[in-house]
Chains A and B, each alone.
Chain A
Amino acid sequence: MINVSKIKKGIVIDHIAQGQGYKIFSQLKLDEIEDVVVLLRNIPSNKMGKKDLIKIETEIPLDLTVLGLIDPNITINIIKDGLRVDKIKLTLPLKVTGILKCKNPRCITQHEKVKDVEFILADAASRIYRCEYCDSHTSL
């Protein structure tokens, strides 16, 4: 078993479903920050069988709202002086940019290069979002 020491200040993203860790790593653009980041995959877990986990030792605030869309069961722990000072409960974001793609073949976003297409939460129960351009429904 590989051991990764506790972080002093930053964020621990825990209980990530096995295999989803890299997706979250990419979505949060963690490859672009210069602080220490660790992605652990396939960690044995009593609750989940196996899980992924990310530790980020940083002082930079990260926009974590998108994680609610990827997996609302993820746990986010905020660490200060080596101790957990906050635990963030994830909810579905009301607006999402950059992770969803419109599936309507008649939508302009399928035919032109459109940056930062925004999707608006249409139905929280079924996790359905609406394209800001054509109003079509889509989900992850």
Chain B
Amino acid sequence: MKNIKHLIEPGDFTIEELDSLFRLADAIIADPNKYLDRCKGKLLASLFFEPSTRTRFSFESAMLRLGGQIIGFDDPAASSTSKGESLADTIRTVGCYADIAVLRHPREGTAKLASKYSEDMPVINAGDGGHQHPTQTLTDLMTIRHYKKRLDGHVIAICGDLKFGRTIHSLVKAMSRYEGVRFIFISPEELRMPSYILEGLDESTYMQTDQLESVIHEADILYMSRVQRERFVSEEEYERLKNYYILDKEKLTGAKDDMIVMHPLPRVNEICEEVDDDPRAVYFHQARFGMFIRMALILRLLNMEVEQ
């Protein structure tokens, strides 16, 4: 097997490798024209077994802006899996054509399985069920780094569906490696953080609560996510809990002036539109970083970067 690197979960990159990736993304942002043809002749397979707008467009834009090309699908009915082909066979076949693959799948662990069958094509996990979404985390870390100038020493309040929120699982795994980071997990009892995430954390570095208002003043970063109605057995309970997690101007009055509000998007109603104009709201800028960091990731995994 060749020595190729995949990105399946945030731990696949060391802190030093991430720093280097962020610096490459900075260089691309500063001079995107320098990278226009860097991936000329390279092919990215965009394998989306689950709907996606943001992540898929972001990856495809990233590859096109590097001069590469794209093959793929965004509807599994259009692939041979609808004929009963195994994932292993799909990946081995795609590996005959493409240089790099981006995979989103509703089943957890799919990207890892795909990577085991990909001998010389790097596989990027673009979301596997409710498990992990490491490239959203790269975007989130770029955003934090940009607005807070560093990644260590922050109090990060994460609010909403912590049980099934894959972007949140990856974010916690990644941020827990930086010194002095503390987490405040805000969720209803039913949507608490999975034990496999908590077991990776020092108990002194996190607290769990169901009250946003009582902890918002402590946060340097507030990461909002959608409370998913479909997870609740009782409609009454959903109605009772959902208002805890609608961020409005009034709740923000208790927050630090330099706190930033992040959200992986799409937003439903968990952040009121009135918050969009608040200088602390950075969620729309997050998406912009996504394309550049994915350009850097593609370059790095294909070993196609130019000297910085």
B-binding residues in A (CB < 8 A) = 104, 106-114, 122-123, 130-137
* Assembly CA distance A122 to B196 (angstroms): 8
Contact A131 B199 (CB under 8 A): no
In the assembled complex, how far is the CB of residue B194 from the closest CB belonging to chain A, in whole angstroms?
8
Query: Ordered nearest first, which 8 A-B pairs have the shortest CB separation?
Result: A133-B109, A134-B108, A108-B107, A135-B196, A134-B109, A108-B109, A108-B110, A106-B129
The answer to whether residues A111 and B196 also contact, given A133-B112, A134-B131, A135-B131 and a CB cut-off of 8 A, is no
B87: Cβ under 8 A from any A Cβ: yes
B268: Cβ under 8 A from any A Cβ: no
In the assembled complex, how far is the CB of residue A28 from the closest CB belonging to chain B, in whole angstroms?
26
A-B contact pairs, 16 of them (CB 8 A): A107-B108, A107-B109, A108-B107, A108-B112, A108-B113, A112-B87, A112-B88, A112-B113, A113-B86, A122-B196, A123-B199, A132-B112, A133-B108, A135-B131, A136-B196, A137-B196
Residue in chain A with minimal CB distance to B86: A112
Residue in chain A with minimal CB distance to B87: A112
The answer to whether residues A111 and B195 also contact, given A106-B129, A106-B130, A134-B131 and a CB cut-off of 8 A, is no
Residue in chain A with minimal CB distance to B9: A135
User: Residues of B within 8 Å of A, CB-based: how many?
Assistant: 19
Q: Mark B102-116, 1 if CB is under 8 A from A, else 0.
A: 000111111011000
Residue in chain B with minimal CB distance to A130: B196
Residue in chain A with minimal CB distance to B105: A108
Chain A CB within 10 A, most for which of B88, B108, B109: B109
CB-defined contacts of A135 to chain B, threshold 8 Å: 108, 131, 194, 196
Majority SS of interface residues in chain A? loop
CB-defined contacts of B107 to chain A, threshold 8 Å: 106-108, 110-112
Residue in contact with B195 in the complex, picked from A107, A109, A132, A137, CB distance below 8 Å:
A137
CB-defined contacts of A104 to chain B, threshold 8 Å: 108
* Assembly CA distance A123 to B196 (angstroms): 10
Residue in chain B with minimal CB distance to A104: B108
Contact B87 A108 (CB under 8 A): yes
In the assembled complex, how far is the CB of residue A9 from the closest CB belonging to chain B, in whole angstroms?
39
CB-defined contacts of A130 to chain B, threshold 8 Å: 196
CB-defined contacts of B129 to chain A, threshold 8 Å: 106, 134
In the assembled complex, how far is the CB of residue A55 from the closest CB belonging to chain B, in whole angstroms?
39
Residue in chain B with minimal CB distance to A134: B108
Of residues 82 to 136 in B, which have CB atoms within 8 Å of A's CB atoms?
86-88, 105-110, 112-113, 128-131
In the assembled complex, how far is the CB of residue B230 from the closest CB belonging to chain A, in whole angstroms?
14
* Assembly CA distance A109 to B86 (angstroms): 12
CB-defined contacts of B199 to chain A, threshold 8 Å: 122-123
CB-defined contacts of A136 to chain B, threshold 8 Å: 108, 194, 196
* Assembly CA distance A113 to B116 (angstroms): 13
In the assembled complex, how far is the CB of residue A134 from the closest CB belonging to chain B, in whole angstroms?
4
Chain B CB within 10 A, most for which of A114, A134, A136: A134
The answer to whether residues A108 and B108 also contact, given A114-B113, A135-B131 and a CB cut-off of 8 A, is yes
Residue in chain B with minimal CB distance to A113: B86
CB-defined contacts of B110 to chain A, threshold 8 Å: 108
* Assembly CA distance A131 to B110 (angstroms): 13
CB-defined contacts of A131 to chain B, threshold 8 Å: 109
Residue in chain B with minimal CB distance to A136: B196
In the assembled complex, how far is the CB of residue A140 from the closest CB belonging to chain B, in whole angstroms?
18
CB-defined contacts of B195 to chain A, threshold 8 Å: 137
